[in-house]
Chains A and B, each alone.
Chain A
Amino acid sequence: MVDIGIILQILFWGIYAGCIYILLATGLNLIFGVMKVVNFAHGEFLMIGAYITATIFLLTGINPYAIILLSMLVLVGIGAVVERLCFRPILGTSKLNEIFLSIGLIYIFQNATAMIWSDEWQSIKSPYQGITVPIGSLNVPLDYIIIMVLTAAILCILYLFLKKTVLGREMRATSQNRKGAMLVGINVERMDVLSFGIGCALAAAAGTLWVVSGQVFNPYMGSIPAVKAFAIIILGGLGSIPGAIIGGLIYGIAENGAAFLLGGVWKDAVSFVILIVVLVLKPTGLFGESGE
């Protein structure tokens, strides 16, 4: 008989882990939707976000939750440069090329980071460490609650941006039909840069949240979350942001459940088991269209 408290705890951790996956997967979804590009190096933007946050925090001592804005801004810039220099020249060539290019980007980002900050595992302490809030029968760290609220806020802002602003509308149009968007006078290349930038900013936010929650990080931390984020958007449906949210939560909970039941080594493997099972049963993903 499993204690109900433990189940709640796993659920809670799962939701917290899910928040990071949701941000990552939403960004990827946005990029994929607009550009139809597969960026396996997306996790490296999370890693850079994490390092920016940790460095600024250690240098200045600003509340790390405030640094999220800065790290997002920096990553918009990096994302725009990467899009312009690397992905735009190969748009429209084979899908495999995008994967190969991502490998090059992974090499560059991971090892440039290792050159600057060394490849040791690091972690920082959040100012709210040790503060817990009692909810029902379990004590929840305050950090986790802030992270969930922040994730929700970022997603709401993104939603409003996509639905209510002209730019957001243009982005959605591009993602629905690129040629059609061109015909009505939308600058689709600008939309590419924009979506890539926003996607990277979301990854940076995920990186900041990763760091402030006290998790360890090193230059190689990004690749596995990135592939998991891909698994999530396959589960949740390509281009569907609600799908990414649900998929992210499922993954977070499944991982923590597996780590509890089978042992910590299974944490990563279980997400790929889920992915493979889903793809065997339905090769286009749970909600995927036949398109891509």
Chain B
Amino acid sequence: MNLCRDGILRYGTLAVVAVAIVLPFLTGSMFFLNLLCLLLIFIIFASAWNLLAYSGQGSLGHAAFFGIGAYASTLIAAQSGISPYITIFLGAAVAAFIGVLIGLTCVRLKEWFLAMVTFGFAIIVQTLTVSILASSTGGWDGIASPRLISPDVPGYQLIEYYSILVITIASILAIWWIMKSRVGLAFSAIRENELEARASGINPVRYRLLAFAMSAYLAGVAGALEIHHIGYITPEIYNVDISFWPVTYVIFGGLGTLAGPIVGTIVLTFIWESLKMAGLTFARYVIVGVLLILVIIFLPKGLVDLPNRLRQWWQVRKKPVPDVAPVTE
């Protein structure tokens, strides 16, 4: 049974990757290709958030790392002329460094204190960007960011798409490897019971910082990719919205699972874009909000748990209803 499920998973993953490779050739529409790029970027971002949540820390300010990675990469690329392909990883390193700093203030905090500190941190970073750092960041107006591939290159969109795809797959493989390694075990031990984790020799502070660093790094990669893809950056990248999206995607897909952020991002983006085509604007958010609440209440493990739930439901239904003897005096 397990082996069979492993097989399904392996072929399923291969199928998804194959579809991702072939998809651009099927449509050829630039709008669709752009959408796919953003989808992949948000898969990285949601997975990064998920990795932090995997260690029991729910951040409400991941836009900070997304934005720091983007700004750092843009500034390095613009000032030194290094290719964005390299600065993406340098910018993300800056985000990881800041992530460790904010992690240091958070490691001793309870869940919702941490949520607030991270939320506030995104606002502080935005304020710094438009005040003290305005001379280099362009303040509220933002600055142009070097493109990943110069638009002069023929077929640059396709090259960009495949670059992003490769980075996405690499990030997910990295997260998969982290989750199944000793570090991942330590993360889930801390999440489930910090006291017991400590008793078995895990230093929670060190692992929490590690989770912060890795999560901020990947979020920084995602942010830098998005900005080099769009070609322009403004402080709106730190908005509350950007912090909430990865949370929404992950909860939708399934918190703490590898597939959760991927499934959640794909499904929600699909719903989102369909609603957009139906001409809805604000109502889209209302629908997503309602869906989110329904998922939290009725599917606490997210969409990835849906097959299991359906199977259970099916088995319960198939079982004959036991005869209940009428209660008599």
- Taking CB atoms, residues of chain A closer than 8 Å to B60 are 40, 99
Is B120 a contact partner of A90 (Cβ separation < 8 A)?
A: no
**Considering the complex, which residues of chain B in the window 28-74 have a beta carbon less than 8 Å from any beta carbon of chain A?**
53, 58, 60
- Taking CB atoms, residues of chain A closer than 8 Å to B116 are 227, 230-231, 234, 275
0 or 1 for each of A76-114: is its CB under 8 Å from B? (1 = yes): 000000000010011001111111110111111011101
Is B124 a contact partner of A273 (Cβ separation < 8 A)?
A: yes
Min CB–CB distance A109 → chain B (angstroms): 8
Question: Which of A138-146, A206-214, A244-252, A262-270 is found at the contact surface with chain B?
Answer: A262-270
Is B293 a contact partner of A93 (Cβ separation < 8 A)?
A: no
- Taking CB atoms, residues of chain B closer than 8 Å to A273 are 120, 124
**Contact A227:B119 (CB < 8 A) given known A38-B112, A90-B296, A96-B53:** yes
Total interface residues on A, CB under 8 Å, equals 48
**Contact A272:B282 (CB < 8 A) given known A107-B289, A231-B116, A265-B130:** no
0 or 1 for each of B246-283: is its CB under 8 Å from A? (1 = yes): 01100100010000000000000000000000000011
Min CB–CB distance A66 → chain B (angstroms): 31
**A273 to B123 alpha-carbon distance, docked (Å):** 10
- Taking CB atoms, residues of chain B closer than 8 Å to A114 are 282
- In this complex, which of B113, B120, B292 has the most chain A Cβ atoms within 10 angstroms of its Cβ? B120
Is A101 a contact partner of B293 (Cβ separation < 8 A)?
A: yes
Is B117 a contact partner of A276 (Cβ separation < 8 A)?
A: yes
Looking at chain B's contact residues, the main secondary structure is helix
Is A234 a contact partner of B131 (Cβ separation < 8 A)?
A: no
Instruction: Tell whether B10 is near chain A: CB-to-CB under 8 Å.
Output: no
Instruction: Tell whether A280 is near chain B: CB-to-CB under 8 Å.
Output: yes
Instruction: Tell whether B177 is near chain A: CB-to-CB under 8 Å.
Output: no
**A114 to B289 alpha-carbon distance, docked (Å):** 14
Q: Pull 9 A–B residue pairs with CB atoms less than 8 Å apart, ordered by A.
A: A99-B111, A100-B251, A105-B293, A107-B286, A230-B116, A273-B120, A275-B117, A279-B113, A283-B113
A residues adjacent to B (C-beta < 8 A): 38, 40, 86, 89-90, 93-101, 103-108, 110-112, 114-115, 119, 223-224, 227, 230-231, 234, 262-263, 265-266, 268-269, 271-273, 275-276, 279-280, 283, 285, 292
16 additional contacts (CB under 8 A) given A101-B292, A108-B293, A273-B124: A38-B115, A89-B297, A94-B111, A96-B58, A100-B58, A100-B292, A100-B296, A103-B289, A103-B292, A104-B296, A107-B288, A108-B285, A111-B284, A227-B116, A266-B131, A275-B120
